[in-house]
């Protein structure tokens, strides 16, 4: 392959000490400057790692004026101090942080695969990439040789499944050496859309194939391609179980063994993640009226059964346990070994790929009115290789379909695409157009928020209707759960710092199904504890699934079973055993609160982060249309009677819709008040100075931003 080395940087790879290398790698692709930076004790104390490190380094890189496509914007990848261990399940996660093209402010996205751990073993706690190259470049980090290069490799493919094969073959010395390589890439659609995502590769030696995991949310793949970075490659040979050099290895091993046993004994009786991954969720969501169908209008469908776990397992032989990092016995990733593509540039080719997660099945499937697993697989493959976030793409496409069915769009405007619900052929063509940067795909690729503006300006669409049905908040497309009957989940989406992603708070069952959060105080407490707890996993480099997709046998006998107390204690033990510190559960939450409040202030710095930015589309709160109301008329009529003493007899659906809407919108505002109070924020959603002081995140630059907003 033709190669030109543009710059080279040598370093002495340092060993980890208690989970940290105490150095980060900085690369600027504008001027090809490469340097190392020390990690100070203050940064470790206040930001821990992972998402915390990403937020801190980005904060220092950008000004309030910086836009996502300015060269100052950075992409930061950091695994966290516990990340990379092989003794405890789910320890291979990396957090990626950047300014988002769709929200305009800071976004974080977590991802499995081997990049984060290999980066760390190569001698770096985080990678900071800034600048914008004039030509496509590859960044290559060799953690054994102590070498970083920026190179031009002009013959590389665009799409991830080809690109990672080329690069793995190129940088590996032999078959065995492929295990040492992990690559970050995007794809051709990330060149042309704002919903681009990042693929993180790793070599599956059992299958002798390269697999991809995704950092999907927030459009960071679009940022990568805007910087003209084709790929970031890390190579490190010699992964062993003790490379993090923990303070107490035996304690980590003991904690891990306990969970391994629990998974081995319990997974078959519980979620069966090892044999069916997150596909098991489809049936549960459909049964509880939570599976988005037809752009979140409804929560279930008579065809929902066709995309449930047994069909995936039978059709694609998903039974093998596949992890995304060494030592994850929960092994929820499911691999499809031989799928023949039916459309697009790779039509007829046989590919290996990870099977879709629940979010993808619901997003590109049921939410678009499509209940065909072969279509969902095809769509999943192309989203991945083109570098498009399946959640954003699914939610966006469902919105476009509703616009089409309401006459806001037609075939003339879509260039011939018949974007009706259920039309998988049109969806795939839309995706192919995104990859080519052509036709209606180019407009759609702007994401829901910008599409709304475009439809109002160009087609004179009704902005109120678009705001009601466009399932985005803060500019990010919704994750795939219907939240209409769970006020807490409405807050879980609306109050999330980065936008409506469920990795902050997923509380539908506690709230709606089990009715465990009856008062506003209960709701606010849940919307405090769970986002803080989940944030912590992203600080240290851990996957959320082994926390609550498997639970100890006696969990239900504990005082707070929803928190899985034994697992929370495991995490405290892991952190202490890794770092040699002695935190308790309260301090663990305070670690998260510091970073969480810092992220809120970061949003303020960028011109967001106040109450108005926590607003949500009415479709996520209640029924927007007459047909929606009538589809669950008994439920809504009963609520009018029971909650409002309003007699629906003889009233028009339009009248009832409005009364219900007034009530539900009022409830959401009350929820915001309660949550802000619990979090120590003003009624405008600004962290109070005393809150920041009490948490120890009262850095002068942080206080300066807050004071400006309080003034
Ligand atoms: S539970 Fe699944 S996603 Fe999480 S680390 Fe294990 S294999 Fe990866």
Model confidence at 526, pLDDT cuts 50, 70, 90, reads very high
The pLDDT, as a whole number, for residue 319 is 75
Which residue's structure tokens are 């009022």? Answer: 666
Is the Cβ atom of 111 under 6 angstroms away from ligand 1?
no
CA 61 – CA 37 distance, rounded (Å): 13
| Substitution site in 117, 546, 549, 567 for ligand 1 pocket (most atoms within 8 Å of beta carbon) | 546
Q: Tell me, using a 6 A CB cutoff, whether residue 117 lines ligand 1.
A: no
- Provide the residue count of the chain: 711
Cβ of residue 537 lying under 6 Å from some atom of ligand 1: no
Mean pLDDT, residues 444-472 taken together: 98
Residue 151 pLDDT: 98
Mind listing the pLDDT tens digit for each residue in 140-174? 999 999 999 999 999 999 999 999 999 999 999 99
Question: Residue 264 Cα, ligand 1 centroid: separation in angstroms?
Answer: 15
Residue 66 is given by DSSP the state -
Helix (H, G, I), strand (E, B) or coil at 617: coil
CA distance 160 to 354: 13
pLDDT tens string 536-554: 999 999 999 999 999 999 9
Alpha carbons 624 and 32: distance in angstroms, whole number: 52
Is 80 exceeded by the pLDDT of residue 575?
A: yes
Tell me, using a 6 A CB cutoff, whether residue 85 lines ligand 1: no
Q: How far apart are CA 260 and CA 266, in angstroms?
A: 10
Residue with tokens 């290996």: 352
* Residue pointed to by tokens 């009350």: 670
- Residue of minimum CA distance from atom 5 in ligand 1: 90
Task: Single out the residue of 151, 107, 96 nearest to residue 447, CA to CA.
Answer: 107
Across the range 56-64, mean pLDDT stands at: 98
Is the pLDDT confidence value at 51 over 80?
Answer: yes
Q: How confident is the model at residue 502 (pLDDT cuts 50, 70, 90)?
A: confident
For ligand 1, atom 8, which residue shows the shortest CA distance? 324
Ligand 1 center from residue 324 Cα (angstroms): 6
| pTM of structure | 0.97
Report, as an integer, the average pLDDT of 104-108. 98
Residue 503's pLDDT band (cuts 50, 70, 90)? confident
Residue 620 CB neighbours (<10 A): 24
How many C-beta neighbours within 10 Å does residue 1 have?
10
pLDDT at 255: 96
Which helix or strand (DSSP H or E) is residue 688 part of? none
Is the Cβ atom of 333 under 6 angstroms away from ligand 1?
A: yes
Percent of the chain residues topping a pLDDT of 90: 96
Bridge partners (DSSP) of residue 5 are 151
């Amino acid at each position: 392959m033709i190669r030109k080395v543009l710059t080279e940087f040598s370093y002495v790879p340092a060993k980890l000490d208690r989970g940290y290398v105490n150095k980060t790698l900085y690369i600027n692709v504008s001027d090809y400057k490469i340097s190392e930076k020390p990690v100070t004790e203050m940064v470790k104390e206040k930001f821990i790692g992972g998402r915390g490190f990403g937020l801190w380094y980005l904060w220092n890189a950008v000004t309030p004026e910086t836009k996502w496509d300015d060269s100052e914007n950075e992409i930061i990848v950091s695994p966290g101090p516990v990340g990379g261990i092989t003794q405890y399940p789910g320890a291979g996660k990396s957090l990626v942080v950047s300014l988002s093209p769709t929200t305009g402010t800071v976004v974080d996205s977590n991802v499995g695969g081997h990049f984060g751990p290999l980066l760390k073993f190569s001698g770096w706690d985080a990678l900071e990439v800034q600048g914008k190259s004039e030509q496509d470049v590859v960044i290559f980090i060799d953690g054994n040789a102590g070498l970083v290069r920026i190179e031009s490799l002009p013959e590389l493919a665009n799409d991830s499944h080809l690109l990672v094969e080329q690069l793995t073959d190129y940088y590996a010395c032999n078959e065995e050496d492929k295990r040492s390589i992990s690559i970050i890439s995007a794809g051709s659609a990330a060149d042309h859309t704002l919903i681009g995502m990042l693929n993180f590769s790793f070599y599956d030696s059992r299958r002798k194939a390269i697999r991809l995991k995704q950092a999907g949310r927030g459009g960071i793949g679009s940022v990568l391609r805007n910087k003209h970075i084709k790929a970031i490659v890390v190579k490190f040979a010699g992964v062993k179980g003790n490379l993090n050099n923990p303070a107490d290895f035996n304690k980590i091993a003991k904690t891990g063994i306990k969970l391994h046993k629990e998974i081995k004994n319990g997974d078959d009786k519980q979620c069966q993640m090892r044999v069916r991954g997150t596909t098991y969720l489809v049936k549960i969501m459909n049964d509880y009226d939570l599976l988005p169908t037809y752009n979140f209008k409804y929560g279930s469908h008579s065809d929902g059964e066709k995309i449930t776990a047994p069909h995936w397992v039978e059709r694609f032989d998903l039974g093998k346990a596949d992890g995304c990092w060494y030592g994850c016995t929960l092994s929820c990733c499911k691999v499809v070994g031989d799928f023949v593509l039916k459309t697009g540039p790779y039509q007829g080719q046989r590919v290996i790929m990870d099977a879709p997660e629940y979010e993808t099945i619901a997003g590109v499937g049921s939410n678009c009115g499509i209940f065909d697993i072969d279509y969902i697989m095809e769509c999943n493959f192309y989203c991945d290789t083109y570098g498009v976030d399946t959640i954003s793409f699914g939610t966006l496409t469902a919105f476009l379909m509703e616009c089409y069915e309401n006459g806001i769009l037609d075939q003339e405007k879509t260039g011939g695409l018949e974007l009706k619900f259920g039309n998988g052929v049109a969806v795939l063509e839309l995706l192919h157009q995104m990859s080519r940067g052509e036709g209606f795909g180019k407009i759609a690729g702007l994401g829901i928020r910008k599409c709304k503006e475009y439809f109002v300006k160009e087609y004179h669409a009704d902005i109120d209707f678009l705001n009601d049905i466009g399932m985005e908040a803060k500019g990010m497309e919704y994750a795939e759960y219907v939240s209409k009957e769970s006020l807490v989940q409405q807050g879980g989406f609306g109050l999330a710092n980065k936008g409506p992603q469920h990795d902050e708070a997923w509380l539908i069952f506690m709230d709606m199904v089990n009715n465990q959060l009856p008062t506003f105080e209960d709701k606010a407490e849940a919307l405090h504890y769970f986002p803080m707890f989940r944030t912590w996993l992203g600080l240290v480099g851990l996957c959320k699934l082994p926390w609550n997709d498997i639970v100890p046998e006696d969990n239900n006998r504990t005082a707070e079973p929803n928190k899985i107390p034994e697992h929370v204690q495991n995490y405290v033990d892991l952190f202490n055993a890794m770092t040699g510190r002695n935190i308790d559960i309260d301090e663990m939450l305070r670690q998260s609160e510091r970073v969480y409040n810092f992220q809120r202030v970061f949003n303020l710095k960028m011109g967001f982060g106040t109450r108005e930015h926590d607003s949500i589309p009415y479709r996520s709160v209640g029924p927007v249309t007459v047909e929606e109301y009538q589809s669950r008329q008994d439920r809504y009529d009963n609520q009018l009677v029971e909650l409002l003493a309003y007699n629906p007899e003889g009233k028009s659906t339009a009248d009832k819709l409005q009364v219900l809407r007034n009530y539900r919108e009022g409830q959401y505002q009350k929820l915001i008040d309660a949550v802000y109070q619990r979090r120590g924020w003003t009624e405008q959603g600004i962290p109070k100075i005393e809150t920041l002081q009490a948490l120890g995140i009262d850095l002068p630059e942080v206080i300066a931003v807050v004071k400006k907003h309080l003034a």
